[in-house]
Amino acid sequence: MSKEITSREQDYSQWYNDLIIKGGLADYSAVRGCMVIKPYGYALWENMRDVLDKMFKETGHQNAYFPLFVPKSLFEAEEKNAEGFAKECAIVTHYRLKTDPENKGKLMVDPEAKLEEELIIRPTSEAIIWNTYKGWIQSYRDLPILVNQWANVVRWEMRTRLFLRTAEFLWQEGHTAHATSQEAVDETVQMLDVYADFAERYMAVPVIKGVKTANERFAGAVDTYCIEALMQDGKALQAGTSHFLGQNFAKAFDVKFSDKNNQLDYVWATSWGVSTRLIGALVMAHSDDDGLILPPKLAPIQVVIVPIFKGEEQKKQIDEKVNDLVRTLKAAGVSVKYDDNDNARPGWKFAEYEMKGVPVRIAIGARDIANNVVEVARRDTKEKMSMSIDGLGENIIQLLDTIQTAIYDKARSYREKHITKAENMDEFVQLLDDKGGFISAHWDGTPETEEKIKDLTKATIRCIPLNNPEEEGSCILSGKPSKQRVLFARAY
Amino acid sequence: MSKEITSREQDYSQWYNDLIIKGGLADYSAVRGCMVIKPYGYALWENMRDVLDKMFKETGHQNAYFPLFVPKSLFEAEEKNAEGFAKECAIVTHYRLKTDPENKGKLMVDPEAKLEEELIIRPTSEAIIWNTYKGWIQSYRDLPILVNQWANVVRWEMRTRLFLRTAEFLWQEGHTAHATSQEAVDETVQMLDVYADFAERYMAVPVIKGVKTANERFAGAVDTYCIEALMQDGKALQAGTSHFLGQNFAKAFDVKFSDKNNQLDYVWATSWGVSTRLIGALVMAHSDDDGLILPPKLAPIQVVIVPIFKGEEQKKQIDEKVNDLVRTLKAAGVSVKYDDNDNARPGWKFAEYEMKGVPVRIAIGARDIANNVVEVARRDTKEKMSMSIDGLGENIIQLLDTIQTAIYDKARSYREKHITKAENMDEFVQLLDDKGGFISAHWDGTPETEEKIKDLTKATIRCIPLNNPEEEGSCILSGKPSKQRVLFARAY
pLDDT at residue A2 tops 50: no
DSSP secondary structure of B173-225: EEEEEESSHHHHHHHHHHHHHHHHHHHHHTS----EEEE--GGGS-TT-SEEE
What's residue B485's pLDDT?
Answer: 97
What's residue A157's pLDDT?
Answer: 87
Considering only CB atoms, B121 lies closest to which of A62, A92, A343, namely A92
Overall pTM surpassing 0.90 (yes/no): yes
Considering only CB atoms, A170 lies closest to which of B34, B65, B74, namely B65
- A22-A28-A33-A35 Cα dihedral, nearest 10 degrees: -80
* Orientation angle between helical segments B277-286 and B39-58, nearest 10 degrees: 110
In a 3-state reduction of DSSP, which class is residue B330? helix
Minimum Cα–Cα distance from A98: chain B residue: B86
Considering only CB atoms, B42 lies closest to which of A30, A64, A106, namely A64
What's residue B343's pLDDT?
Answer: 84
- List the pLDDT tens digit at each of the 492 positions of chain B: 445 899 999 999 999 999 999 999 999 999 999 999 999 999 999 999 999 999 999 999 999 999 999 999 999 999 999 999 999 999 999 999 999 999 988 999 999 999 999 999 999 999 999 999 999 999 999 999 999 999 999 999 888 899 999 999 999 999 999 999 999 999 999 999 999 999 999 999 999 999 999 999 999 999 999 999 999 999 999 999 999 999 999 999 999 999 999 999 999 999 999 999 999 999 999 999 999 999 999 999 999 999 999 999 999 999 999 999 999 999 989 999 999 998 899 999 999 999 999 999 999 999 999 999 999 999 999 999 999 999 999 999 999 999 999 999 999 999 999 999 999 999 999 999 999 999 999 999 999 999 999 999 999 999 999 999 999 999 999 999 999 999 999 999
Task: Answer whether B213's CB lies under 8 Å from B468's CB.
Answer: no
Q: Could you tell me which of B278, B272, B244 has the C-alpha nearest to residue B125?
A: B272
What is the phi-psi region of residue A394: left when phi exceeds 0, alpha when psi lies from -120 to 50, beta otherwise? alpha
- Does any CB of chain B come closer than 8 Å to the CB of residue A162? no
As its CATH architecture, domain A419-489 has 2-Layer Sandwich (3.30)
CA–CA gap between residue B353 and residue B355 (Å, rounded): 5
Chain B residues with CB inside 8 Å of A71's CB?
Answer: 30-31
Mutate to test the interface with A, among B81, B83, B88, B91 (most CBs of A within 10 A): B91
What's residue B3's pLDDT?
Answer: 56
Minimum Cα–Cα distance from B141: chain A residue: A343
Contacts of A299 (CB under 8 A, 6+ apart): A44, A47, A335, A357, A358, A359
Q: How far is A24 from chain B (nearest CA, A)?
A: 11
CA–CA gap between residue B377 and residue B373 (Å, rounded): 13
Query: Mean pLDDT score of chain A, rounded to an integer?
Result: 96
Q: How far is B110 from chain A (nearest CA, A)?
A: 9
Q: How far is A64 from chain B (nearest CA, A)?
A: 5
Q: Identify the weakest region by mean pLDDT among A169-178, A354-363, A471-480, B96-105.
A: B96-105
What's residue A105's pLDDT?
Answer: 84
Q: How far is B249 from chain A (nearest CA, A)?
A: 16
pLDDT tens digits, A97-137 = 999 999 988 999 999 999 999 999 999 999 999 999 999 99
What's residue B157's pLDDT?
Answer: 87
Scanning B245-274 for CB atoms below 8 A from A yields: none
Q: How far is A396 from chain B (nearest CA, A)?
A: 25
Q: How far is B40 from chain A (nearest CA, A)?
A: 8
What's residue B104's pLDDT?
Answer: 87
Dihedral of alpha carbons A422, A425, A430, A432, sign: positive
If one counts every other C-beta atom within 10 angstroms of the C-beta of residue B182, the result is: 10
Query: In three state form, how does the secondary structure of chain A look?
Result: CHHHCCCCCCCHHHHHHHHHHHCCCEEECCCCCCEEECHHHHHHHHHHHHHHHHHHHHCCCEECECCCEEEHHHHCCCHHHHHHHHHHCCEEEECCEEECCCCCCCEEECCCCEEEEEEEECCCCHHHHHHHHHHHCCEHHHCCEEEEEEEEEECCCCCCECCCECCEEEEEEEEEEECCHHHHHHHHHHHHHHHHHHHHHCCCCCCEEEECCHHHCCCCCCEEEEEEEECCCCCEEEEEEEEEEECHHHHHCCCEEECCCCCEEECEEEEEEEECHHHHHHHHHHCECCECCCCCCCCCCCEEEEEECCHHHHHHHHHHHHHHHHHHHHHCCCCEEECCCCCCCHHHHHHHHHHCCCCEEEEEEHHHHHHCEEEEEECCCCCEEEEECCCHHHHHHHHHHHHHHHHHHHHHHHHHHCEEECCCHHHHHHHHHHCCCEEEEECCCCHHHHHHHHHHHCCEEEEEECCCCCCCEECCCCCCEECCEEEEECEC
- Does any CB of chain B come closer than 8 Å to the CB of residue A150? no
Scanning A3-42 for CB atoms below 8 A from B yields: 27, 29-31, 34-39, 41-42
Chain A residues with CB inside 8 Å of B36's CB?
Answer: 64-67, 132
H or E stretch including B275?
strand B268-275
Q: Hey, are the CB atoms on B36 and A65 less than 8 Å from each other?
A: yes
CA–CA gap between residue B207 and residue B465 (Å, rounded): 11
Q: How far is CA A185 from the centre of its chain?
A: 23
CA–CA gap between residue A61 and residue A148 (Å, rounded): 7
Q: How far is A116 from chain B (nearest CA, A)?
A: 11
Contacts of A433 (CB under 8 A, 6+ apart): none
- Does any CB of chain A come closer than 8 Å to the CB of residue B94? yes
Contacts of B398 (CB under 8 A, 6+ apart): none
ipTM: 0.97
> Which amino acid is located at B292 in the chain?
L
Q: Hey, are the CB atoms on B96 and A88 less than 8 Å from each other?
A: yes
CA–CA gap between residue B96 and residue A89 (Å, rounded): 5
First-to-last C-alpha distance (Å) of chain A: 28
Q: Which CATH topology does B2-286 take?
A: BirA Bifunctional Protein; domain 2 (3.30.930)
pLDDT tens digits, A296-348 = 999 999 999 999 999 999 999 999 999 999 999 999 899 999 999 988 999 99
- Does any CB of chain B come closer than 8 Å to the CB of residue A65? yes
DSSP-assigned letter for residue B445 = S
Considering only CB atoms, A76 lies closest to which of B27, B106, B135, namely B106
pLDDT tens digits, A276-290 = 999 999 999 999 999
Considering only CB atoms, A37 lies closest to which of B45, B65, B141, namely B65
Contacts of B463 (CB under 8 A, 6+ apart): B208, B209, B210, B211, B212, B226, B228, B486, B487
Mean pLDDT of A341-362: 95
Q: Which CATH topology does A303-402 take?
A: Rossmann fold (3.40.50)
Contacts of A119 (CB under 8 A, 6+ apart): A69, A70, A71, A72, A91, A92, B31, B90
Q: Could you tell me which of B433, B398, B400, B438 has the C-alpha nearest to residue B418?
A: B438
- Does any CB of chain A come closer than 8 Å to the CB of residue B380? no
pLDDT tens digits, A434-484 = 999 999 999 999 999 999 999 999 999 999 999 999 999 999 999 999 999
Q: How do the domains of chain A map onto residue ranges?
A: 2-286, 303-402, 419-489
Mutate to test the interface with B, among A92, A253, A342 (most CBs of B within 10 A): A92
Q: Could you tell me which of B101, B102, B107 has the C-alpha nearest to residue A75?
A: B107
Report residue B431: phi and psi, to 5°: -60, -45
Residue B13, judged by CB atoms within 10 A of its CB (0-12, 13-18, 19+), counts as exposed
pLDDT at residue A1 tops 60: no
CA–CA gap between residue B182 and residue B179 (Å, rounded): 9
CA–CA gap between residue B81 and residue B376 (Å, rounded): 53
Minimum Cα–Cα distance from B35: chain A residue: A67
